[in-house]
Each structure stands twice: as structure tokens, then as C-alpha cells.
Amino acid sequence: MTDFADMLQGYRRFRNTGWSEQRERWDELNEGQSPGVMVIACSDSRVDPAQIFDTSPGEIFVVRNVAALVPPFETTPGLHGVSAALEFAVQVLGVGEIVVMGHGKCGGCKAALSHDLKDAPPGEGGFVHNWISLLDGAREVVIDRHGDDRSREVERAMEQEGVKVSLANLRSFPCVRTKEKAGTLKLVGAFFAISDGQLHLLDEETGVFSPA
């Protein structure tokens, strides 16, 4: 298992290879960033977008949280971390695409389906439950379709419905709706299966995810 001492060794390798070999690229990035794509992904340690998409520094603007969720647009007081990142990516960086990437074996989606943390106090699971309550609508869809079945197939259905929720919530943001309508911003739904390393893309007309 990696600890911070191991990470420091990795940093030193990076300085001796990645940094020095791409010094011209890092000099460019020192002047600013201009990524073309925003990726909204899960915090799960197994699904690093930069690794999955084999990108270099400065190419993608990434937000990661439990279950790769986007909350709906709202103007109530509060700390809107995902909304702030989205606003920055769309309005300041001018990204042309936003990819929402769910994944297999997602603990957040599983908890949203099971409601195992429903009565947990904050600090003992309550924060997680409150956050994944964004998936309550997706949970209803899955339960209506599959009943009490909690097989891996049903968990995957929940994970993929979660991607659809985040896409719908993205479109509740005026800046996203306006730019998508104008054709300057594209939304993409994706699902990464840890079991076989396969990326699936969502066809929003059919609601079906298919291998990329």
C-alpha cells in the first residue's frame, strides 16, 4: 500500500523524468491553462481520468467527488464547490466539452441504492448520505425496473442512471444550456468498467451505454 513516503519517491522520479522531459510544456503551463475538456468523475482511487484518457498536464480540467455528481443549479447561500468549478470551466476557461464519467463498483451509488447510511449522523456517514440523496430519483427508476434485486447488474444500472442525473443537472445551469444550444458546448456521458477496463459512452436518445 502506498504511503506518503512512497509518494515522495514518485515525486522525485517525476522531477527527474516527467518534469525535465516536458520542460517546454511546463513552461507553457506556467503562463496559464487552456484545457478543452472538463471531466466530472468519482473520487474513487481506481478511476483517475488522467490515466484512463492518457492525457498530459493541462489537457483536462477535472472535478472529482463521491459518485461523480453534479448538483442542480441553485442560488441559495452555501458552499457550492462543484458549481464553482463548473462556472469557472465554462465561463472562464471556455471548455468545449464536459464529460461526466461514472464507474463500476461505485460505493457512493451502491449506498444510494441501499440507503444503508440513511440514518447515519454527520461524520459517521451522514455527509455521504446527504450528498448521494441527489440520486434518489435515479434510485426510484432502478427500483421500479428491478424491484428488490441487488445484483451486480442492478448496481451497474444505478451507476449509469447516476451519470444521467448529473447530465440533467448540468443542463439546469443557464450558462450550460445557453452554450449547448449555441453549439459551443457538448455534454458527454461515460461509464468506466473497472472489471475489464472498458469505457462506455451514453447515447442520450436511447439511454443506452455502449463500448467506446
pLDDT in tens, 159-187: 999 999 999 999 999 999 999 999 999 99
Regarding whether 5 and 55 lie in a shared domain, the answer is no
Look up cell 484512463; give the residue.
52
Shared domain for 24 and 106, answered yes or no, is no
Question: Would you please indicate which residues are annotated as catalytic (active-site) residues?
Answer: 42, 44, 46, 103, 106
pLDDT at 157: 97
For residue 42, pLDDT over 80 is answered with yes
pLDDT band, residue 2 (cuts 50/70/90): confident
Q: What is the dihedral of CA 179, 181, 183, 185, to 10 degrees?
A: 40
The neighbouring-strand residues paired with 42 are 65
pLDDT the model gives residue 20: 83
pLDDT tens readout for residues 114-171: 999 999 999 999 999 999 999 999 999 999 999 999 999 999 999 999 999 999 999 9
Strands (E), 109-203: 186-193, 198-203
CATH code of residue 59:
3.40.1050.10
Q: Does one domain contain both 53 and 5?
A: no
21 with 97, same domain: the answer is: no
Reported as a single tens digit per residue, the pLDDT across 10-20 is 999 999 988 88
Give the domain extent around 60: 34-211
Q: How many domains does the chain have?
A: 2
Same domain, residue pair 22 and 107: no
Same-domain pairing of 92 and 178 = yes
Global confidence as pTM: 0.95
